[in-house]
Copies of this chain bind each other. A is one copy, B any other.
Amino acid sequence: MILMNVSALETPAVLIDLDIMLSNIAQMQRHCDALGKAFRPHIKTHKIPEIAHMQLEAGAVGIACQKVSEAEVFADAGVEDIQIPYNIVGERKLDRLMGVNRVCRLTVSADDPAVIDGLEAAARRHNARLRVMVDLGTDIQRTGAPPERVVELARRIRDSQRLDFAGLLVYPSTVSNRPRIQAALTMLHDAGFAVDSVSGGGIGGAAQAADVPEVTELRVGTYIFNDVNTLNAGLCGIEDCAMRVRMTVVSRPDADRVILDGGSKTIAADRTDDGHGLIVEYPEARIYKLSEEHAHCDFSACSARPSIGDIVHVIPVHTCVVTNLHDRIYGVRGDYVEEIWEVAARGMVY
């Protein structure tokens, strides 16, 4: 439904092209369907329950989110299958986790016996059962156990009175991590474990998924909006970038310098070698610096220059952190706003 012309929005404002977003949703689901893998979108990119329901309607098996407070928002909004690929630590937080576990099919992960013990104690306090995956470490060196510790962790889950072993978790499930996945699976199979789910992820992992047949499920977030990072990685074209941040030119201090009214509070401080984002109307321009409320742009390579008051649209470097800065984002078709979404899980860090 047309709500208003986009010109009625103050700038800066985060716009989502609805047709591009719907196309991205359908395309990733088709990609996973064709590979015979379950698809579990990571909601970190949008943080909006309405959009999660569109992804589920398209065929996703459930969602992934990163924190208990995010899971609460999506469980409250009726999402029935939630995975939190995170070590949940701390008694209060575990009690809240068990509240979510009561109302949906919840799965968490663990990379250490201490984490598993906390999960078991929480399940016991709440007289419930909880599904736990073993988090396998990868070449990004974040969390995750090495392959040789995976069997010990799986056993600790299985031997507990309250936990169910729910498979192997890996991020990102790129080809570079396939040897680790294979090693862990071999050891699990040799120890007598059935591994129903190998949940992989990352937009790179999704692109390489045909070459990592061990993975049964893909978690991907960024694909729904895309950004300069996915563009530079060759994973999409500009026509697949659904998020564009509408900004106004507020200063033209010299011949080549143009200042926009959005800075690191609007599009976050992320950058690439080319700067802090792509100006759609002036692809040769370079956002070379961000203050909190200003984008500093060099237009020396452009044949034309905008005037004070002109509107431009910026494709950000990293879309997920942009969503997290805004209370509302807008779904648009052409010049019209058709959706006003509250970013319901914005700022949910705990």
A interface residues (Cβ-Cβ under 8 A, vs B): 8, 10-13, 44, 66-67, 69, 86-90, 92-93, 111-112, 114-115, 118, 137, 141-145, 248-253, 257, 259, 261-262, 264-266, 268-270, 291-294, 296, 307-309, 320-321, 324-327, 347, 349-350
CB pair B293 A13 closer than 8 Å: no
Q: Within 8 Å CB of A296, what residues of B?
A: 141-142
CB pair A114 B292 closer than 8 Å: no
Q: What's the least CB distance linking A58 to chain B, in Å?
A: 24
Q: Which of B115, B137, B266, B308 contacts A87 (CB 8 A)?
A: B308
Q: Within 8 Å CB of A252, what residues of B?
A: 112
CB pair A291 B142 closer than 8 Å: yes
CB pair B67 A251 closer than 8 Å: no
Q: Within 8 Å CB of A324, what residues of B?
A: 265, 292, 325
CB pair A308 B115 closer than 8 Å: yes
Q: Within 8 Å CB of A112, what residues of B?
A: 251-252, 308
Q: Within 8 Å CB of A264, what residues of B?
A: 268, 321
Q: Which of B259, B265, B268 contacts A269 (CB 8 A)?
A: B268
A-B contact pairs, 30 of them (CB 8 A): A8-B92, A10-B69, A10-B90, A10-B92, A10-B350, A11-B350, A66-B292, A87-B251, A87-B308, A88-B250, A89-B248, A89-B249, A89-B250, A111-B251, A112-B308, A114-B308, A137-B253, A141-B257, A142-B253, A142-B296, A143-B253, A143-B294, A144-B251, A144-B253, A262-B349, A269-B269, A269-B270, A292-B324, A325-B325, A325-B349
CB pair B347 A326 closer than 8 Å: yes
Closest 8 CB pairs of A and B: A10-B350, A143-B251, A87-B250, A114-B308, A66-B293, A89-B250, A266-B349, A269-B269
**Who on chain B is nearest to A11 by CB?**
B350
Q: What's the least CB distance linking A337 to chain B, in Å?
A: 14
Query: A252 vs B146: C-alpha distance in the bound complex, in angstroms?
Result: 12
Given contacts A11-B350, A66-B292, A268-B268, 8 further A-B contacts (CB under 8 A): A10-B92, A13-B350, A111-B251, A145-B253, A264-B268, A269-B269, A324-B325, A326-B347
CB pair A265 B321 closer than 8 Å: yes
CB pair B325 A111 closer than 8 Å: no
Query: A294 vs B118: C-alpha distance in the bound complex, in angstroms?
Result: 19
Q: Within 8 Å CB of A248, what residues of B?
A: 89-90
CB pair B347 A327 closer than 8 Å: yes
Query: A118 vs B307: C-alpha distance in the bound complex, in angstroms?
Result: 13
Q: Within 8 Å CB of A118, what residues of B?
A: 309
Query: A144 vs B257: C-alpha distance in the bound complex, in angstroms?
Result: 11
**Who on chain B is nearest to A140 by CB?**
B291
Q: Within 8 Å CB of A137, what residues of B?
A: 253
**Who on chain B is nearest to A113 by CB?**
B308
**Who on chain B is nearest to A7 by CB?**
B92
